[in-house]
Structure formats: structure tokens, C-alpha cells
Amino acid sequence: MRLANIVHLGIKELRGLGRNTMLLVLVLYAFSLSIYMGSKAMPETLNRAPIAIVDEDQSALSARITNAFYLPYFMPPRLISQPEMDLRMDAGLDTFALDIPPGFQRDLLAGRSPTIQLNVDATRMSQAFSGGGYVQSIVSGEVEEFLARHRTAGRLPVELDLRARFNPELDEAWFGAINELIEAITMLAVILTGAALIREREHGTVEHLLVMPVTAFEIMAGKIWSMGAVVLAATAFSLFVVVETLLAVPIEGSRALFMLGAGLDILAMTCLGLFLATVAGSMPQFALLTMMVLMPLQLLSGGVTPRENMPEIIQAIMSAAPNTHFVILSQAVLFRGAGLAVVWPQLAALAVISATLFAFSLSRFRQFLR
Amino acid sequence: MNAGAAAAHPVARLDSVSLSHGKTRALDAVTLDIPSGCMVGLIGPDGVGKSSLLSLIAGSRRIQTGRVEVLGGDMADPAHRRGAYPRIAYMPQGLGRNLYPTLSVFDNVDFFGRLFGQGKGEREQRIRGLLDATGLAPFAGRPAAKLSGGMKQKLGLCCALIHDPDLLILDEPTTGIDPLARRQFWQLIERIRESRDGMSVVVATAYMEEAARFDRLVAMDGGQVLACGTAAELLERTGTTDLDAAFIALLPAARREGYRKVVIPPRPADTGGEAAIEADHLTRRFGDFTAVDDVSFRIARGEIFGFIGSNGCGKTTTMKMLTGLLDASEGRALLFGREVDPQDVGVRRRVGYMSQGFSLYSELTVRQNLQLHARLFGLAPGRIAARVDEVAAQFGLTGIMDALPDALPLGNRQRLSLAVAMIHAPNVLILDEPTSGVDPIARDGFWTILVDLSRRLNVTVFVSTHFMNEAERCDRIALMHAGRVLVCDTPAAIVASRGAPTLEAAFVGHLEDAANDGPVAEMAPEPLGAGPGPATGGSRRFFDIRRLYAYTRREALELLRDPIRATLATVGSLILMFVVGYGINMDVENLTFAVLDHDDTTISRDYALQLSGSRFFTEKPPLAGYADMDRRMESGEIALALEIPPGFARDLSRGRETAVGAWIDGAMPSRAETVRGYVEGMHATWLAQKARERYGAGATQGDFRLEVRYRYNPDVRSLDAMAPAVIPMLLLMIPSMLAVLSVVREKELGSIVNFYVTPVTRLEFLLGKQLPYVGIAMVNFLLLTGFAVSVFRVPLTGSLATLTAAAFLYVTVATAMGLFLSTFMRSQIAAIFGTVMLTMIPAAQYSGMIDPVSSLQGVGVFIGRIYPATHFMTISRGVFSKGLGFDDLSRAFLPLLAAIPVLLGLGAAFLRKQDR
């Protein structure tokens, strides 16, 4: 009986969703085109970085260095004069500007330790921070090779054998695609359930449910399973069709395990959506609240920047967010091929968060119905 | 009555007009002349096309086929419509549907005055006159949502009359209003007509006794006109004595067949026993307002108990307490002798409740609504189909089982609501104004069912109504006023004790008595004084700043009345900036690594120390072997694994080739790149150091220094880079969301009709809505910038004036984007989801926040180039970090400037000025 109520209330939600064509189009877009585009547009960490070189040395070595920057990592370097350098950086045309001083080659060979100056536009976030090291190692490499012909003293024959595991080419698209998918899941799960509840209230149908023999638990569970199922189905579609087939991202681990994690994450997110709906008085208020919750969830879950860089306090707060654990789980399962033995703590955390959010929003929901 | 003369100059003329909503045909080739200067009533059951006809005449709906001429011109012609809007006033169906609930009475009327471009002096004089005449003056400051139904309708009338229309169109203006308020309403209309000679009034009504007063009547059925003429003519033609009967006689035979007069068999002598429903000194307070004050009554099983009283007198509250929807402040509510317990699900199965605003799922069809309720009430699955069909037949829903409730006329929806309330065959029915707005035939049908339920099945019926002929059918009635029951007896006894000719007179008498000694309910209306000369009907200009300002002001007032929204929009963005600015850190630190040291010598340990000693790396316990490495990398515990080969120290000292292995976790590519850079750098440093130790100064040959200057942010503070990038994101998301919802909300809740039928143009509407949100966004901008500089200590090195000017353009673009999006959305859910999708994602990914646009690929580049956030991001960073001014950044201003007219133009092009 009770289970039947939950089923029927859920089917009602699905029918309602089915009639909102615009919403369906948006859902489809979020889980296909948006992910595809997002993944294709994401550059490699260092992709086509604009660089300019002020070559005051005009030596063989400086020419060699200039030629070492090429696509796809760097745009072909522009050779500019020193005054131009400041203007171009101000206008944001170059991220890097390398200034090779006069007499660089001569001083180098004479052991006078000359200095090359690398100007980095630090407002350029990721490129600035990761590209600096890159430029440095390219210049060192060129200098090294140049010196190999002139060297008088020996050097140490230790190679560094660097390999990236799980994503050997460091293809940003893989990561981007999964990240986009997680974002879409979060957004949809929160908005669908929350807005559905506000809508019922604005149209006066919640009150009607209350004179029927259904409980708050059943109403909530009905919304959660139905909207959760929609999001889960969209996730499966996106993972198999868009991510695996169209974007050809190799998936290492168990898809079932990922879907299990996704299910738990969706459960938590739908509960969060209901909770927000009980807090908000009207649709505009709900919309603003949703933004205030979605943006930190998106930016601080570890999907955009690594979690370990965040201040301790943020890390602590975000460990209460389902997203954080889901991001860890998806990276581990999809890219590193991790199994249950590795990701069970994340699953457990998701389960605990879901249960807490559910209990919390149920009590809020009961008060809200009063 | 000069029908002949008036017919010569019809105010509206319809020629074979047809209208369909989807598959439903609302009007079927209607040809009709509506004479000017008199009062014309449209009568007929629900769903025969009365409302559609009125909305076509008002110009609120697009004409599909046929020709509609109003005030001497073709309503299909936009130029004529523009000229006609100031001469027409339209009050749509539904209590206060075109009013703004959070605005005060005065502000509502004021808004309409502004829409018609009236100046301050004229407006105030007119509003005062109207409010005095309608008796609303004492309530001028009260929000419209807190008015009773009758007062809402009077307010609607004030709003309609503010511009002295030549044609007044009223769609069921008195539906759901008590008799006293109704009487006052028509007196008001009478006085207005006396003072405004030549005004034409077209009214749709379900009350036949009202219709008898009109100059001419148009009887409609099935989208067609049955008959036209004066009331007397119709009576004469049909040979009947009252209009109800006349109308029924006019119906085609097939429709007439189902009609039976309501006959009420006497109730069997009271069987005694416990009461079905009992209210025992019920009191309910909301704050310091007492909605229900010490109400007691008993309703026996099988009795039909009527509840009558003015709007807002506490009927609904009492009913809600009896169903357990509301707790009583004092007293007890009993059903079958048991106290109503909201937690007791079992008792709900015995009660059927129908609330005033119907609570049907508009997204489910009639059949699906019935099935859902049958299932929720726990009917046996096998019986559901049969029960649904049975109820459908009983309530005349069989033909419309697959229609959506919103597409159905009011009467059908009411029947569906009752069917839903009855689906589980309850013993008690609690019906809150079930027949308001329902036509006479449908009402009689409805009552036939009620009587049958009561007499045959002994179902107890507790019903509230505004119709006196319905009240007369009840076994007993209670008359309620201001939270108290004034009298409770059989209808005949009430009439007799009052010595009044009719129940209505008795009722009005009781109310007037109560009003005299109670708190002043409504002021005695003053005569409508002559207006202050001819009203300004609004210019015909394409653009009038006053109309624009009307929307701006209203939107701003609504924002002020909803402090939570305004607070969320401003303080919320501060919190967001704090969280994001503080949380995002591009500087990769605390990278975890572990070493698999096969060599385990001083040299190999020295190599590892190089890493663990740096601030970038944190060392984890050494690796036990390859399996351990796999496991710990899979779980993400370590981001880097180093493998030092056996004999590393020996090979090094002998100058033999050897290699250190480094595995980086590539799951997060940007982090992996950073790790790679660090490791390579440290490897090189270590080698150089060893070389110096070994070969001495000779090794310094080839030594050079690379000096890295992080410009604009020399300390490489993430926050300094982040804050100027977060501001553009926040200033895009929140203003555009507010702008989208401001329009979509009007569409969903119905007040968009004011835009359809007033002279306000599309551009005025959009710009008017936009301004307050631009204002809020600018406040937001100043807050965010102030916060960044004072709390985050982000240096602002450039020209603040430039940044402010750019921000102004940018938020104008953001709100224009929202308005443009709103033209495609009908539901608020889709609007929220769509706006989040189309602002948050592009702003975060394609606008150069993290990766510069020049480095994006494919479509990303295109989006990045045209997306406004990109350009404002350039300006924001330029001013904050690079110390730039307008001259340096002027190039980024151009796209923003260009986007405003493009977006607003598109918005205006796609916005509909009429309903489809």
C-alpha cells in the first residue's frame, strides 16, 4: 500500500515532466551537447599558450630557444621589442614573454651565469601557474643540448623516466567530460525535485495531497525516486553514448560501480533540492538559493581544481558535500580502474550524507506542510 | 433602452470568428454585433466560449480565423490595436488574477494609471475618486493578497476604470463573491455608467438574476450564439418566466435532455446517534488575527449542511480544521465522535475534501487525475478502472477523459475536482465553494448528485456556497461573519425569524446588522464624482517613458516587498565570492608522493629528500612494492610515485647510465602537468648540485638563471587572480536569473494579460522590467568590488570609473540576456534550469576564467569570443590587476555595447504581445 503510493506519486511526477517540452530539451542538451562541447573545447593544460620573445642576444642559442616553442603547447612565438612587451601583456595578448638579454650565449659559455627573464601574466590562472615550469624546462633543455657540444666537464647520467598513469597523454578532454557530467547531474537533480515541490505549492496541490491518506514520507519518496530515475537514466545515456562512444574516452573501471555511486549521489542531491524548496518561499527565492548552493558545489568539489589545494576549512566543509565524494569516486573508478575495495569509503560517505539529508529534509518537509 | 439606435453603431462586430485551443474548438464561426452604449451580457454554461470571445474583443488573444472589429477598426491590425487599447478595459476571469498580490491597493491602481501614461496629479485624483467610490479608500495600503474576494474584484474594477474606457469588458466579475458584495458591485457599475455616458459594458456571467438587469443578452452554447435580445424578448420567445428556464429552453434538444430540476426528498427522521461532524468551540488565530472565533455546530449523518457568509469570514479556515489540515487554536473538531488527528491517515479515507482553489494536477489528464487519486486512496487495483468509469459517468466527464484540466472550462474542472474528492466513496464530503463560477445547468446537475449521495447513501455533505438558491436546498445552514456563526437553522426558519421576503434579503440583513456594530468592513460608498476631465488614455507613441517607468516601479516595489529575494541577490553573491575566492587555489601544493626505493642508500634517500623537503610535496610512507603502488595510486592516495632503481648510488658514482622512474596520476591532467614540471625542475637541480659537488666549479659552465616574474600578481596570490574573475561570473548569473523569472513568473501566474491589453509596447515592457534589476546588479557590483578590495585585500590598481562603466554595460547585457531567454520559457522550472545552464557553464568554462579564450578549441572559441563575460573579464582583470584605464580597454567595451541592442531587439522580436 505505502509502496504503491510512492510508486504512483512518482509516476505522476514523470508524467508532469513529460509534458514540459522545454525542460526535456534542456535536459537532453545538458547531458549530450553541453558535455560534448565542454569536453571538446577544453584545452590541454597547456594548449596554444600565447608567448612572445624579446631576443636581444640574436645568437645561435637564442634562435634555438625561439624555435623550441611550437604548437600545440605554444602558439608560434612572436618576436617583439622590449617596449612592445609591456603593451602586449597589458592588453592580455601574451601569457608569457621571454626576455633573452644581450650577450646571453657569450656569458653562458664563459660561466658567468646570465639571467633570462620570464614574464608571466599571473591573471591567467591555470596557464600562468603550470606553464611557467614548462617554459623553464624547455629553455633548460635547449641550453643543455646546446652546451653538449661545448661542454668541457662531465655531467651526471641520470635520466628521469616520467610517465603519467591512467591518462598517458594527459588528455584534458577525458577529465573534462566526466566533470561536465557530474555538473549536469548535480544541477538537474537539485533543480528538478526542488522546483517540482515549489510548483506544487504555488498551484495549491500539496495541500490536496494532505487530505488524502498519504504521508509526507511517501510524497517525498515519490519525488525522489522519479526524478532520481530520470537523472540516473540521463547519466547512463551520457556515460555510454556521449562519453564512451562519441568522445571515445577509455573507461578503465566498473561502470556498474560508477552508476552505484551516481545513484547515491543523485539521492543526496534530490534530498538537497527538496530541502532548499522547503526553505525558499517562492520560485525566485528558490532559484537564487540554488545558485548559491550549486556554484560552490561545482567549483569546490575537487572537480575544477584539486581538493588538496583548498584551505583546510574549505576541505572540511566540502567533505560534507556529496559531490566531493562522487568526484573522488568517479576519478578513481573511471580513470584508475579502482574497485569496490578502494572506493568503499566514498560509497559509505555518500550513503551517510544521503541518509542525513533525507532525514533532515523530511523533518523540514513535515514542518513545511503544517 | 434604445436597442435599435445602438445597433447601428456596434462597439464590437464579429464576423465568422473561430478559435481552437489545440483540438478543442472554443468558438465556432461566431458572427455577432455588440451594440454600443449599453450593457450586454454573455450567458451560457461554462466552456461555451464566453471567455474566448471576450479575450478576442479585448485584443489579448490572437485572432485565428474570422474578423473582429472593435471600436470601428480591425483588431488584427496592430496599429488599430495600439489605438484601441487605451479605450478598452479588460478584467479577466479569476479573482484578482491580473492584480499583483504583494502590491498595495493604491500601488495596483497606480500601476495601471502609469501604464496609460497618466501624470502624477491626474493619477492621484483619479485613484482617490475610484477608491472612495468603491469603498476601498480605508484599505489603500493593504496588499492585494490580503483582500477578500469582493474587495479584489472592486480593486480589479478600479484598475480597469482608471483610464475612462469606452468599452469595459468584465469576465465573470462576481464569481465567488458573497451576495452583499455582489450587490454593491453592480450598484457601483450602475453609478459609473450614469457618470460616463456612452460607455459600453460587456459582461460574462453565470448568475441569471444578474443577467436579467442587462440591456441585452447573448446566449451562447457550444462555441455558437443561440440567441440575442433583451431579457424580455428571450422570455417571450421561449414562453418562460425566468431566465434560467429560458436558457434551458433555448438549448438544443439533445443538451436539454440530461437536465432535471433538483428535487430534494425530505430527510428521514433523525436517526439520532453520534454526529458525523462536530465543531466544539473551535477557535483559530493567525498571529493576533482571529479567523475563527468560538464556532460550534453539529452535523448529523446524511445531512446537507450549508455554510454561507461573506468572503474571508472564516468558512475555509473552519473547514480546514475539520479536515485536519489546520490545527485548532482552541476547541475540538470531531469526525464521527473522534477528535480529528492530522496524523491519523485512516480518517482521511472517510472524508472527501474539495478545496476552493482547485487542486488538480494540470500536467495529468482527467483520467490520470482520477486514477492517481483512486490509487492513493487505496482502492483495489482491479476495481480502479471500473470506479473511474463510474465516477466519470456520474459527473459527466466521459467525453473529456483525455483532456488536460487547464484546457477545460471552470465548470468541468469543478466537476472533476468533485469526482476526485468522491472517488473513494467517502462518508463525509467537505466542499469549499464547489460551485462558484459554475453555470446553472452544471450546478443543478451537481446538486442532483449531492442530494442523491445524501439521501440514498447517507453521505454527510458540508458545503459552502454564495448561491442563495443552493443555500435554500440545504437541510440546515450556518451564516458566518467575521469568524463567528451569526445564525444556524433551517433556511425557512431563518427567513421567517428575520421576516424577510427571501433568504438573500435575510442574509444581507444579518450581514448589515453585524457590520454596523462590528468593525467597519466596508465604507459606505460615496457617489462617483465627475472625473478630472477626460482621462489621458495614453499616447499612441511607440515609446513612452511613463509606461516604461510603470513597469520599473512595479518591479521595484515587488522586490522591496520581498526582502528575502533582494537579500539573497546581494548578500548571497558576497558569500559566493567569499567561498569561491577563498576556496579556489591554482597554486598546486601539498602533493602527496611515496617512494619505492630499491637502492636504499644515502644517495637515494637524498634524492627523495629533495622532494619531501619542498613545500609542494608531502611524503607518504614508502611503497612496499608494485602492488602497493598500484593500490595507492588507484585510490588517489598518492599523486606521484618515485621508483629508484637498485644500484642507483653505485651507478651514479661510476658514471653509468641509470634512470629514476616517476609515475604521475594522470586522472586530473592539469595537476599532473604541474607535478611533472616540479619533478623535472627538482631533478635538474639535484643533478646540478651533485655535479658541482663532484666536478667543482667547472660544472658551473652552462649555468644560467631563469628569473620568473609573475606580473600583475607578484606574490602569486590566487585570490588576486580569482576575485576579478568571480565578479563577472556572479554579475552574470544572478541578474539574468532574476530577469528571466520576472517575466516567466507573470506568464505562469497570469498577470501577463496586463501587458497584452494595455498600450504598453514590447520594448517598454522589457526595458521597464530590466531597470530595477540593473539597479540591483549595480549595487551588487559595488558590494563585490568593495568586498574584494577591503576584505580580500585585492589591489585595485586601475581606473574604478572605467570598471564601473563597464559593469553597468555588462549587467545591462546580463539582464537583457535573461529577458531574451524568458521569451522562450513558459514554466519557471525550465527557466531556472535553462538560465543556470546558459550562464554558469559558459561563464566558468568559455570566458577565460580558468583558461584563456585564445587557448580554447572548437566551438569553445566561438562561444568565448561572443560571450559577454569574456569581455568583462578582460576589463575586470585589466582594472584590478594591470592598472589599466579606459584607453587601454576600450576594445573590450565594444562587444558589450553591441550586445545590448542585439539582445533587447531579439527579445522584443520574440516576445508576444498577444496570447496564442
Contact B813, B903 (CB under 8 A): yes
pLDDT of residue B531: 47
Residue B353: which of A139, A211, A343 has the nearest Cβ? Answer: A211
pLDDT, tens digit, 9 for 90 and up, residues A207-229: 777 777 788 888 889 999 999 99
- Name which CATH class applies to B3-101+166-257: alpha beta
Helix or strand (DSSP H, E) at B193: helix B179-195
pLDDT at B525: 42
Q: Where a domain ends, among A88, A114, A148? A: A148
Q: How many residues does chain A have?
A: 370
Dist. CA B352–CA B323, nearest whole Å: 9
Provide CB contacts within 8 A for B243, sequence distance 6+: B43, B208, B209, B211, B212, B217, B231, B234, B235
A337 or B786, which is more confident:
B786
| Domain limits, chain B | 3-101+166-257, 545-581+716-910, 591-700
Q: How far is CA A261 from CA A185, A331, B455, in A?
A: 12, 11, 59
Tally Cβ neighbours within 10 Å of residue B228. Answer: 19
B579: which chain A residues are within 8 Å (Cβ-Cβ)? 296, 300, 314
Asked if B326 and B317 touch (Cβ cutoff 8 Å), the reply is yes
Judge whether A314 lies within some domain. Answer: yes
Q: What is the pTM of this model?
A: 0.82
CB within 8 Å: A336 and B878: no
CB within 8 Å: A296 and B720? no
Cβ proximity of B640 and B591 under 8 Å: yes
Residues A78 and A217 in one domain: no
CATH number at residue A109: 3.40.1710.10
Whether residue A300 sits in one domain with residue A230:
yes
C-alpha cell, A311: 584551505
Q: Do A175 and B851 touch (CB under 8 A)?
A: no
Distance between CA atoms of residues B818 and B564, nearest Å: 21
- Indicate whether A260 and A135 sit together in one domain: no
Q: What was the pLDDT predicted at B854?
A: 75
One domain, residues A139 and A221? no
C-alpha grid cell, residue A137 = 624546462
Are B712 and A49 within 8 A, CB to CB?
A: no
Class of CATH domain B591-700: alpha beta
Interface-testing mutation among A96, A109, A305, A333, with chain B (most B C-beta atoms within 10 A): A305
Q: Are residues A33 and A56 in the same domain?
A: no
Name the region of A247 (left: φ>0; alpha: ψ -120 to 50; beta: rest): alpha
The predicted structure's pLDDT at residue B727: 92
**Per-residue pLDDT tens digits for A96-142:** 999 999 988 888 888 788 888 988 887 776 677 677 777 877 888 88
Question: Do A243 and A341 share a structural domain?
Answer: yes
Per the CB < 8 A criterion, the answer to whether B631 and B657 are in contact is no
For residues A101 and A240, state if they share a domain. no
Distance from chain centroid for Cα B664: 52
pLDDT digits (tens, 9 = 90+) for A44-88: 566 778 899 999 999 988 898 898 888 778 888 999 998 888 888
Which residue ranges in chain B fall short of pLDDT 70? 1-8, 254-260, 269-273, 342-343, 345, 357-359, 437, 516-541, 585-588, 696-702, 716
Give the domain-ending residue among A90, A115, A148. Answer: A148
Query: What pLDDT is attached to residue B700?
Result: 53
Q: Does residue A183 share a domain with residue A67? A: no
ipTM: 0.83
Listed residue (B602, B699, B645) closest to A158, CA to CA? B645
Say what the pLDDT of residue B533 is.
54
Residue A23 lies in a domain: yes
Asked whether residue A19 falls in the same domain as residue A85, the answer is no
Q: Using CB atoms within 10 A of its CB, is residue B254 exposed (0-12), middle (13-18) or buried (19+)?
A: exposed
Give the strand pairing for B39-43 and B24-35: unpaired
As a whole number of angstroms, the distance between CA B11 and CA B87 comes to 11
Residue at A162 is within a domain:
no
Q: Which residue has the cell 470506479?
A: B387
Q: Report, as an integer, the average pLDDT of A259-282.
A: 91
- Given this model, what pLDDT does residue A233 score? 95
Structural contact between residues B28 and B222, judged by C-beta atoms closer than 8 angstroms: yes
Tell me what pLDDT residue B778 has.
95
For A231, the 3-state DSSP assignment is helix
**Measured distance CA(A5)–CA(B375) in Å, rounded:** 7
Would you call A199 and B828 a contact, using CB atoms and an 8 Å cutoff?
yes
CA B98 to chain centre: 13
Supply the range of the domain harboring residue A252: 2-42+171-369
| Number of folded domains that form chain A | 2
Helix, strand, or coil (residue B404): coil
A-B CB pairs within 8 A amount to 490
Residue B6: what pLDDT? 42
CA atoms lying within 13 Å on the CB side of residue B58: 31
Task: Encode B536-573: b = buried (16+ Cβ within 10 Å), e = exposed.
Answer: bbbeeeeebebbbbbbbbbbbbbbebbeebbebbbebb
CB contact under 8 A, B562 and A108: no
Output the pLDDT for position A43.
Answer: 62
| CB-CB under 8 Å, A166 with B583 | no
Whether B591-700 and B3-101+166-257 are alike in CATH topology: the answer is: no
Q: Which one of A89, A158, A258 would you mutate to disrupt binding with B, by most B Cβ within 10 Å of its Cβ?
A: A158
pLDDT at B350: 83
Using an 8 Å CB-CB cutoff, list chain A residues near B362.
203
Range with lowest mean pLDDT among A49-53, A154-158, A175-179, B818-822: A154-158
Coil/strand/helix, residue A73: coil
